[in-house]
Structures are given as structure tokens and as C-alpha cells.
A and B are shown apart, each in its own frame.
Chain A
Amino acid sequence: MPELSKNAPPPPPESSHPPPRLPNWPLENSPPPPSSKLSGLLNELLYIGISLAGTRPNMAERICRALRDGALEGEHAPALTIKDSIQSPFGSMVFDHVLSQLSSFIVAQKSQSQGIVLVAFSRGPLCYEELFESKGNDVASSNKWIRVLDCCTDPLGWRSKLMESGRIANFTLGTSTTASLYKNVKDLDKLLLAITELGKELVGDGKGRFVVAIDSVSEMLRHTSISSVAGLLSNLRSHDQVSCLFWLLHSDIHETKAIAALEYLSSTQASAVPITRPVNGQRGNSEKLPFLEQNLRGGKIHVRFKRRNGRVRLMSEEFCIEQSGIKFTPISSEAEMIAQSLVPKVQFNLQLSEKERNDRAKVVLPFEHQGKGKTIQIYDGRKSLNEDKPEMQYNSVEKVQTVKDSGRGEIIYFRDSDDEMPDSDEDPDDDLDI
């Protein structure tokens, strides 16, 4: 019996769940004014438009667009965690990809935010300048939309102390106009202040918003505890002017508690995993090499996306590293079934839907027709009666009675077995006529 679904085919989830007031994570301020809710709704409708047109945005684009659209007012900013491990060490390339996508959105003025504050722990500002040049962004005008907080050159302030005391020669790295040096990574309150000040410099004090990108939270965790890092990230998320944030994490160098805490704080997680090799018999050395090579050049990326209505979307794609950067392609091999733990103890549906209720109202009950001029019939179990019953599920072994959608309806009764005595179906109360 096909399931009676109200919409066929099931609509894309965006249309059946326009953003209700269920935010990602605790709302801070007053509920969103209708205009920003509407813009969120429009964005989701845009996704529907695109998907109906047949060109589904690929997963990486979707993530970038979700970040670009940023936070609704009064909501925590969306946060992306990019995870990798030694088996698939491409997290920084994914990070660069997201960074360059967002910067192109910002330069084209298509996003909620007007600038990026990049907190660079593992790579210096010069690296990023080269990255932007290679992507074609104009470096000269970059100080309009990006600021780099340089926590890489001198994180603990040792270099400047040594320079002051004259121990080492005074030398300056090629400084860029966009970078400011930060020397006190152990103090995360000051770091928060520095980030927000840079952001305000970029976008002004009013309604402007900025993106925060943290090069490597793993580096931060080297210096401070997970609770202060979590405090910093949640304060950034709840800051009025932060539109979205994303960070990189190397998952195999931290304990599970730290990783769980960071997953708790983020609304999307993208993990780069190696392509698993199929298990088939003997694996000599000669077979291992192609896989190693393959994993050096690419891998898979699994995304868990927490939607506003509380459902979790899981997506996967493959990526490969090329000269120009990283390229995402949909999964080519046979679709993997992501097994989810199913719900226990599901009961049968004992309630009636509207249609079923209407059908039930049309029931001509037994013996109702008697006394209206027709001959009285005693049911003897062999003929099918002209009665109507709604479809109800039983916990018994009787075969299901089907519903016919005619005006009067019919019961089609399948006997349990054909060699039963006809009398055994007779209900002794049948000759009562109450």
C-alpha cells in the first residue's frame, strides 16, 4: 500500500521548512525582525530555484553560500569546522578554498559581510598575500576588505623581547599594510579584543559585519585550554558584528573531548578523509601504492550541516588537488549508504487521517440497511459484504483489508485459509439486530 503522502514528490526541505524561529543555537537578543527572516527565506528559495532548474550547486559552493549569507539577527553566527588528519592532510587547502570564495563574494559585494579578519596562526601574512595574488584578487586594494592578525611570527612575544635586549639583530619581515602583529596568544581575552577591533576598523561601528577566519585552532590549543578557546569562539559567534566564522582543526592531535567541544560549537563540519580502499583478498605492496598516490592527490570530504530546523544534513563529495587548487566533484563510486541508527519501537499508526475519517463516515454499518425494505441477510462468511471500512493496522496476523475509493466502498475479505468451515466465520451475535 503506497504511503499516502501529502506532497508527491517530497518537496525540497527548504520549502517545507521555511525558517521558523528555531535558531541554530541560543538566541541572544530580540527575535529577528521580519525583514531579515524574509531575506533568509529568499535565500532558501533561491536554492530551490537553482535546484529545480537542474543545476544543483555542489556541496562546497553550498557551504560557502551558507557562510556568505551569515547570521540572522539575534542568532549565533554560523560556524564551520574544517577537519583533517594525517591520512588526508588537505585541510589547509580546503581552508584556502573557502577563504578565497568568501573573499570573492565580499569583493563583489554579494555577501552579508564587508570584510574578513584572518587570524593567522600557522602561516604568516605573506603566505596569504601570495594566495590572494594567485587567485587573482587585487592585493593593493585588499586593505579595504581584509585584515590579518599575525599570530604566527611572534606568538609569545619572544622575538620582540630579544630584539629589545639587543640579542638578535633588528630585522623586519616584509610587512604588509593589512597585517598587525599580535604577541600574546595565551591571553584569549586580549585576542578577542584584537579581533573585534580589527573588525570594527574594517566595517565601521554600525551595522557592518565581518567574517572571522582562524587559521588553525590546533595552534591555539597548543597554548591555551579548550575551555578558553571554546569561550572565545562562542563569544565571537554571539558578537553582533560577526557574520560567520570558520576554522581549521587537525583532528588527530587532540583528545576527543576537545574535538567534541569544537563540534558542539560549530554549525557545519567538513572533514577530509582518505578514500577508503576496498577490502579484497591479498594486498601486496604493488596494490598499496596506487591508493597512497590517490590519497596524496585527493580524498573525500564529508559534511555535516546543522540546519535551522534541527535536522542534520549529511553530504559527501570527492576532491582532488590540482595545480590551481582544489576541485570538488560529486561522488563517482557507488553511493555509500550512511547508516543511521534507526528509531526503536515504532508503533503502528492508530489514528485516522482526514481522508480516512471521511471514508469512515461513509460506512454503512451492519444491519443499518435492515428495515428499509431490503431482505435481511445473515452473513455467512462466504460472500463479501458491501461495507466500507477505513484502513486500520492491526497487530494481528489477519491479512490487511484494503480500501477502495468508491462512493460506497467495499470490504474485501481474505479468508485465512480456504479449507475453513464456512460456519467458523459466523459471529453468533449476527442474528442480533440491535
Chain B
Amino acid sequence: MAGNKPRASSFSRNFSAASNTISQIPGLKHGPNGTMFLSSGIPDLDKILGGGFTLGSLVMVMEDPEAPHHMLLIRNFMAQGLVHKQPLLYASPAKDPRGFLGTLPSPMFSKDEKSRDRDVEQEKGLRIAWQYKKYFGEQNSEFQRDGKSEYCNDFDLRKPLERHFYSGQQIDCISLQDSADLTTFQDRCSSFLSQTSRNDRNITCAGRIAIQSLGAPQCDFSDKECDMLSFIRSLKSTIRSSNAVAVITFPPSLVSPAFSKRLQHLADTLVSVKAIPDEDKELAKLLTGYQDMVGLLSVHKVARINTQVPTILEATTFSMKLQKRRSLILECLNQAPVDGSTGSSYASSSSCSGSSKTGSLDF
């Protein structure tokens, strides 16, 4: 599973007592370069992105018109926000977006399930005397299983979120279908974000905005691409100065290529989902675990705030699987074992010591 190890520099941030309260706020944790993370709701995605979604960033998800996988991402994102009692704003082109709240998944608590036992096995039985082990202490604290609230929950997609998570929560649902333009929605977003702005030193909570299918054909403003672009730009600038994360999904096949490219450049974190064909014998031969896969997820860009150093991932495409049919896991694509005796399989394989060039020179 490709993880993204945090860049360990020789400088470390001196966390004063005041900011230690942040680590006590459930759902937030410190990231590199003075940023803070909140969880996406999918543990594997958090690991891939290096901790989660950076506060103040704009996450764009490119949909595939043939598969509803972007809904999984949005559902987990919203459910995580409700579990951590973070205010939520949800907008969709449906007439009654409140109904969508009934489909959010329920968190699985670790006492019910041994969900992540594969990581625990790693260090069993090995004692390595290694001077750098102290730098990795932070990572292990993520997996607290002693009943304290976890940074990121595993969600059971088959069980709906219980009622008590909704009560007393600030959840705004907005329907985009009937509005002729985006100005009212923009005002709603600004007022939502002003609650979580970064002006005061102590943050009390982080906010989440989830916009589903911006640019869907049902909305009247979908042809007005300039308006949508200026809305996204103003949203991005407002978000940058507030403690919130916005996740926006849009269908790139339904908008013009120029608009789609602009949206991709505007995003801080860019992810796309793709459908896979059913009963495809070629894919079944090429990939292990094809039977369990429901789709593919690619990470194109990872947020880079307060730093000039880009994040380069080991792998960018992951398969989406449902573990035991209820929780979403992301795995690196694994090639099926090839028959080694021929030897020619290496010539035809796509990777050669990590690079993706299939040249005539094969080592």
C-alpha cells in the first residue's frame, strides 16, 4: 500500500502549550509546514495524501459518468464530519438534498471489527535497533484503539448513520437546481466560512463543505462557465483563510475541456474516479483482485500549502474495493503473477525498477 512518509526535516515545530489543545480537538491533527489536517473519512486515502485533507484547501473530484464512486467519497467525507461534530454544508443538484443525509454510512468502532490488523503484524517479532525510530513515533499515535475518538473512522457502508450524530449539528443543505445563478449559493458559502475563519488564534472547530456534481445538466447555470469559474475562485480564496475544507465533484465529460482544465488547475488536491468494465477477461488476467474491485481512484495532485516542495506519490492509481462488502479500501494495483519461466513478461510489463517507461531497453 503506498503510503506517503512525512518529510522528516531536521527542524521540528515547537508546539507550545496553547496549540496543544489542537491535538485534543477530535478530527484535527498537525501536519508538516504548519498546516493542519482533517480526515477524509477513508483511512487509506488519508495515508495516501500524507495525513488527510489540509485545512484551507480545495479538493476536486472528477467524476466518471458511468459510476457513482464520487458519492462514496462524499458520503465518507460528510459522515466523518458528523462523527467529529464539525459543521457541514452540503449542496447538490437534487430537489431535496436533505434526503441524501439518510444515506451516510455509520462508523465501525474497532471493538466490533479487527479492521486494520495488517499493519500491526509488521513489527511483530522483530526488534530492530534503529536510531531513527524516534522520528516515526507520531505516525503510530494515529492508530489509537483504546476507545478515544479516532482521527479517521472506518465506515460501514451498509449501515446508516445513527440519529444521534445528526442532532444538534449544524448541517446546511442547499439545492442547486432551481437557482438561476450562483450568487445566493456563494453568499451562503461565505457566511458558513466566516464562522470558521482563521482570525482568532484558537480554533474551535473546522468546517466541511461538500458540493456534489457542480455542472450537472439539471442546473440552469451549467452553461455559464465563467460564472462557475468565478464562484470557484472566490470559494478557494475564502477557504484559504479559514479552517475548512471543501470537496467539490464535477463531471468533466459534461463540461467543455477548457473549463475542466481550469477547474483541475484551481484544485489544491485533485482526485479522479473511474469505472471498470464488468467481466473483462483481459483485466482479470492483468490484475489480481479484479473480482473485488469496484472502481479505480487516481490522485493527480496533492495540496501544497506553505511549501514549494511537491508531493510525489509512489503510485497514483488505486483500486477501490469493498472489504467484506462494507468498508472502502484503496489498494495499489497489483499485477497478477506472471509466468516467470518465459522471461519475456518483463519486457512487456509496464514498470521496470520503478519507472514507467516501456522502452526498447529493458534491464
Contact = CB atoms under 8 A, between A and B. Distances in A.
Nearest to B65: A264
Interface in A300-314: 304, 306-307, 309-314
Contacts of B277: 311-314, 338, 340
B158 to A, nearest CB: 5
B234 interface: no
Contacts of B69: 310
B136 interface: no
A346 interface: yes
A260 B65 contact: yes
B326 interface: yes
B317 A234 contact: no
A405 to B, nearest CB: 15
Contact of A345 (B223, B278, B285, B316): B316
Given A13-B278, A307-B278, A311-B277, A21 B103 contact: yes
A134 interface: no
A1 B335 CA distance: 13
A391 interface: yes
Contact of A306 (B66, B279, B350, B352): B66
Contacts of B335: 346-349, 393
Interface stretch (B52-60, B182-190, B210-218): B210-218
A41 interface: no
A349 B217 contact: no
Contacts of A265: 217
Given A20-B322, A227-B218, A230-B217, A342 B317 contact: no
Contacts of A21: 103, 105, 157-158
Interface residues of A, number: 66
Interface residues of B, number: 77
A261 B256 CA distance: 12
Which of B66, B99, B334 is packed against the most chain A CB atoms within 10 Å?
B66
A310 B335 CA distance: 22
Interface string B274-291: 011111101111111001
Most buried by A among B285, B339, B340, B349: B340
A293 B219 CA distance: 44
A30 B337 CA distance: 43
Interface in B215-268: 216-220, 222-223, 251, 253-254
B275 A311 contact: yes
B94 A238 contact: yes
B6 interface: no
Contacts of A20: 157-158, 322, 325-326
B143 interface: no
Nearest to B296: A343
B278 A3 contact: no
Given A74-B102, A349-B288, A261 B217 contact: yes
A227 B222 contact: yes
Given A264-B253, A397-B346, A345 B100 contact: no
Interface of B: 65-69, 71-72, 92-96, 99-100, 102-103, 105, 157-158, 160, 177, 212, 216-220, 222-223, 251, 253-254, 275-280, 282-288, 291-292, 294-296, 315-317, 320, 322, 325-326, 332-341, 343, 346, 349-354, 356, 363
